[in-house]
Structure 1
Amino acid sequence: MHRSPTAEAEVAAELSAARPALVPRYSAELPGARAAVLTRLWRALAHEPLPWITDRRTGRDGLALLLRDGRRLEGPLPDPYATAAYVTVVQLDGTAYDDPARLMTDLGVPHGLPFAAELGHSVASLALSRAGQEGAAREWPGVDWGWEQRVVDGHPFHPNCRSRPGFSVAEQLAYGPEHRPVVGLRTVPVPVGECLLTGDWPNALRDRGGDGGRLLLPVHPWQAAHVLKRAGGEGPAAHPLMSLRTLALSGELADVHVKTALSARLTSSVRDISVYSIGMSATLSRFAESLTDGLLHITRTLGAATADSPDLAAVLRESPQVYAGQGEHVMPVGALATTELPSRPGWLADFTRLALTVGLRLLDLGVALEGHGQNLLVVLSATGEPLRLVYRDLADIRVSPARLARHGVPVPELSGRVVTDDETALRRKLFGSLVAGALAGTAGSGAALREAMERAVPDLARTEDLTALLEEPLPTKALTLMRLSPGTPGDQWTRLPNPLR
């Protein structure tokens, strides 16, 4: 069996120094972590338009991929919507591989070596994340950030589901939400006159000394140490959420989430906060308030500020918890797979019906949400029934002026990437995130997703977008192709078999 021990051994060595008692559990979790990442990679190899795969042949025993150099890669029949780690080994010209990093290395494709290193880090970090779950409470949390920290495996379909290059083991333990730390944020004082500020900024994050006062921009400790190269002042204690760079504040700001700049590559891209998104935040937030109804709430952006740098910026948002009534729970959709939910037949169909009703209604109106398992949250009753949705982080939605005008909705003063009338782009944004992402990740398999959609679809409003969803292949981001195409900016896409056809 071909295996690359580099990243796994590095993490083991660091873990021996940082938390030696965790080493045996880490080692025990490695085989499962390899299978989890290999399963995600196999999905990409089976369905993405990778230029060095010339043909795909399905047989009784599985799938064979014919490579441009004449080699043959074989594995099980793929389920593009499966979340279980069902791929434990693949064969490259008769040689067995259970390690995705070694497989990518030996494939020898353009830009494959950096990606292989990321896969190795993803395996090692995933094993580390799973190792830290012994003794974790499984009862339903009473706070919003408790739900976020239940998501251990990261992105359900990205091979880099837990890749955190640039983070030491000690830093992963200190900042990773699945390790349930309390993070002491740092603050950097910036004169108000030198900031781009939209919305309101709380007094708790202001320094009134000096001329005109200064904003205290919350900074993630990793960013302060590795990018800004300065310690900064002591900031509020906070609980990291699914995205790691967004945290739930404590104390007098306990109903506030802060999105910090974190210039590290997590899964696909380097994370920062663009000056553009700060400038658009207040307008988007005001516009989003008009979209709220009985089935959907959109968290308000309270304030956003940048010191004219994507490396020093922060966005303050309402906690989704404010939209949960007495006895109700609000959780990211990505956490549903970690939670014991009502076992009655039809629960998944009810949730699917709710999500599609909201998503398609807004799309028809002219707003395409990026409703993946992190941005989209669901409010559950005390007994676990899906009641309504909450959406957060408006930075990557798409707004169609033409569709809004057709419905008589005033067009907000927006510009840049969020504005498009391109029908394909609008549908990709919603279908790729909501159906191929959030709903598929919750269903866990193509068969379960198909059954839920079949039960939900008859109750949906008949629109052209629904017709496209039912009859065309399902778009999703080609996440591996994007990582292997460093010279191609922006998203790249592939199409998955329609679960209803």
Structure 2
Amino acid sequence: MDRVDLILPGDDVAARADAYAVAPLLNCLIREVAEPLPADGEGDRRVYRLPGGGRLLRVRDGRRPAAPEVCVDGAWHRVGHTELVKLVADELRRHTGLSNGDLPTEMTDSRDAVAALLTARARATAPGDPYLRSEQSLLTGHPYHPAPKARGGGPAAGWLPYAPEAHARFPLVLLGVRADEAVEEGDTSALDALGAAPPGYRLLPAHPWQLDLAARDLAPAFADGRLVRLGTTTCDVWPTAAVRTVYEPRRDLFLKFSLDVRITNDIRRLWHHDLRRLPRTDAAATRAFAASKGPAAWLGDRGYRTASFAFEELAVLVRDGLRGHLLPGATPLLAAGLAEGFDGSPLAAARDPETWWEAYLRQVVPPVLGAFADHDVVLEAHLQNTLVAVDADGTPVQALFRDAEGVKLLPDVSRAAGWERLVYCLVVNHLTEIAAALAEHHPGLDPWPAARRELARHDLPEIAELLTAPTLPGKTNLLLRWTGADGAAARYLPLPNPLASA
């Protein structure tokens, strides 16, 4: 990755980037591999044994662990991100018996990406719209992934113009695809409002970063006229937290593109098999929310358009906007942004955190459980797929869910597997992080009794076990990436269940 101009005068960007990158890597190591040792009177420090080599690791405890130290010859020595990557790689080789040359590089790329983002943010203006600000707030990103900000290892100049964390905004490239080569399914009429295609062609917007990545493969189609360039959109789009999904506020339109870059666990293409199953999963989720009695909403994936000769590379998915679903006067916010923190977050400013948390649970939990219980729909209700709308006082009044690509249906998956996925996404990934962020801002708050009460209101046979089981399923992103497993092949390990102790 390009390391040029990462350090700002008077601001140690390198140290801040290290701190951002160390926290999720430590979270992974502690969750998946390390063995906690009894507290030894070190205050906010916890000591762990790394079983592969027997080394001792000490960290500053908390939601975002920090300041890692390794014991050498009886003395503690501080390690930075570079040394921590080497330590983790060596431990995983010992722990699994496998080698992996790619993941350490991704960890370093992730850290360097954070440094580039910090530099870019210092020169950028955050969006005034609190919704967009929440979508573009994720400097840490997934708190339990070893390389949450990796961008494929390319030079920063290639991806920074499209980075939500750098408060980017940009026009889309408009292409014309010859009509006999165009492929579409569902309602894609919103695409035609973005520009005009010449006779014999269909309009096809493209993400400029993806066009750069796929340039060599697409060159023959431009040469023989199957594709033509038509300029750019007159309005900028804003990249959301997912990077490849953008929002055009004036038209209230979300568009999701393929992006041939690994972000967290997967290459972010719109895969052919996922696009083919999308109408079915989206229709099931739409029916579930139409039958719901509360204000919750589903942002439907209306349809897609692409080119037959570049089906995945040029696919664009049209998603519902916000305005037709939002309660009057409500402001939507990304749940992941609430967990990470951003200027103006109502989570941090809540005057009565207990009441705020109860309202949050009341909006988020029932739609997810209702879709499962009544419609056999397993929503991927993690932090990045959930928007929580608040009223003028900052109180949660509505939840909106998105991403039919991540929806599972029963009996395509077993009920047990669907429930495990639901519990991981909703409770472990989502509620645990919001609860921890709330408790961090409001010391003394115990969020779990309220969560237990909300879950207990729902008549599902699995709820009783959820509230009493000693453990919950935690996804093992570090081991998944180290062993080269497919990103969709989630592997879980048991984590202490805070609902049982509440």
Superposition map of 1:458-473 within 5 A: 458-459=453-454, 460-472=457-469, 473=471
Matched, 1:121 2:106: no
In the TM superposition, 1:275-424 aligns within 5 A as 275-292=272-289, 293=292, 294-308=294-308, 309-336=311-338, 337-338=341-342, 339-341=344-346, 342-346=350-354, 347-365=356-374, 366-401=376-411, 419-423=412-416
Give the counterpart of 2:418 among 426, 443, 462. 426
Greater mean alpha carbon deviation, residues 392-401 or residues 101-110: 101-110
Question: Are 2:239 and 1:240 equivalent residues in the alignment?
Answer: yes
Evaluate the alpha carbon distance shift between residue 129 and residue 488 of structure 1 in structure 2; reply closer, same or farther with a 3 A threshold: closer
Per-residue CA distance 1:284-329 (angstroms, 9 max, x = gap):
3332221223231101222212334322211011123432243210
1:455 aligns with 2:464: no
The answer (yes or no) to whether the contact 1:227–1:311 under 8 Å persists in 2 is yes
- 1:94-146 deviation per Cα after TM superposition (whole angstroms, max 9, x unaligned): 563432332232442244542222222222222332344448778x9447434
Question: How far apart, in 1, do the equivalents of 2:100 and 2:56 lie?
Answer: 16
Instruction: Provide closer, same or farther for how the CA distance between residues 446 and 495 of structure 1 changes in structure 2, counting only shifts above 3 A.
Output: farther
Opposite residue 29 of structure 1, the aligned amino acid is V
| Match runs of 1:10-21 below 5 Å | 10-11=2-3, 13=4, 15=5
Q: Cα–Cα, structure 1 residues 226 and 469, in superposed 2: closer, same or farther, change >3 Å?
A: same
Q: Secondary structure at the match of 1:491?
A: coil
Structure 1 Cα separation of the partners of residues 15 and 139 of structure 2:
16
Q: Which runs of 5+ in 1 are unaligned?
A: 1-6, 17-21, 402-418
Tell me what 1:88 maps to. Answer: 67
Q: Distance in 1 between matches of 2:261 and 2:60?
A: 35
SS class of match (2:384):
coil
Partner of 1:411: none
Q: How many residues align?
A: 453
Displacement of 1:385: 0.9
Aligned-partner SS, 1:183 = coil
**Structure 2 residue 49 is the aligned partner of structure 1 residue 65:** yes
Q: Give 2:225's aligned residue.
A: none
Provide the rounded CA distance (Å) in 1 between the counterparts of 2:472 and 2:19.
Answer: 25
CA contact (8 A) 1:261 1:273 kept: yes
| More off after superposition, 240-249 vs 308-317 | 308-317
Q: 1:278 Cα deviation (Å)? A: 1.8
Distance in structure 2 (CA, Å) of the matches to 1:256 and 1:375:
16
Deviations 1:43-63 (A, max 9, x none): 222221x5xx6x553443533
Counterpart of 1:477, as a letter, is: K
Counterpart selection for 1:179 from 166, 185, 188: 166
1:439 aligns with 431
Amino acid at match of 1:354: Q
For residues 37-56 of structure 1, the aligned pairs below 5 Å read 37-48=21-32, 50=33, 56=36
Distance apart, 1:177 and its partner CA:
1.0
Whether the 8 Å CA contact 1:186–1:219 is kept in 2: the answer is yes
- Mean alpha-carbon deviation: is it higher for 353-362 or for 378-387? 353-362
Structure 1 distance, partners of 2:168, 2:20, is: 25
Cα distance in 2 for partners of 1:394, 1:102 equals 40
Contact 2:197 2:230 in 1 (8 A): no
Superposition TM-score, scaled by structure 1 size: 0.81
Q: Can you list the C-alpha shifts for 1:311-366, whole angstroms capped at 9, x where unaligned?
A: 22110111234322432101111122324312213112321233222222222222
Indicate if the aligned counterparts of 1:66 and 1:72 stay in contact, CA closer than 8 A. yes
* The 10-residue stretch of structure 1 (425-434 or 436-445) with the greater mean CA deviation from structure 2: 436-445
Instruction: Report Cα offsets for 1:148-169 as digits up to 9, x if no partner.
Output: 1233332233231212124422
Structure 1 residue 482: Cα displacement: 1.2
Q: Percent identity?
A: 22
Q: Is the 8 A contact 1:353 1:456 kept in 2?
A: no
Return the alpha-carbon distance in structure 2 between the equivalents of residues 383 and 135 of structure 1: 31
* 8 Å Cα contact 2:24/2:142 also seen in 1: no
The amino acid of 1:334's aligned partner reads A
SS at the partner of 2:449?
A: helix
TM-score using structure 2 length: 0.81
- 2:479 aligned partner, one-letter code: L
Alpha-carbon shift at residue 281 of structure 1 (Å): 2.4
Please state how far the C-alpha of 1:206 moved relative to its aligned partner: 7.5
Confirm or deny: 8 A CA contact 1:144 1:321 kept in the other structure: no
- Please tell me whether the aligned partners of residues 63 and 78 of structure 1 are also in contact (alpha carbons under 8 angstroms): no
Distance in 1, matches of 2:207 and 2:196, equals 19
Letter paired with 1:395 = E
- Matched with 1:28 is 12
Structure-2 residue corresponding to 1:105? 86
SS at 1:157 equivalent: coil
**TM-superposed deviation, 1:199:** 0.8
2:138 counterpart of 1:147: no
Name the SS for the 1:428 alignment partner.
helix
Give the deviation of 1:478 after TM superposition.
Answer: 0.7
Q: Which amino acid letter does the alignment assign opposite residue 101 of structure 1?
A: T
Q: Does 2:257 align with 1:260? A: yes
Query: What CA distance in whole angstroms lies between the structure 2 residues aligned with 1:270 and 1:77?
Result: 33
Q: Which runs of 5+ in 2 are unaligned?
A: 223-228
1:413 is matched with none
Is 1:481 the counterpart of 2:460? The answer is no
Secondary structure of 1:23's aligned partner: coil
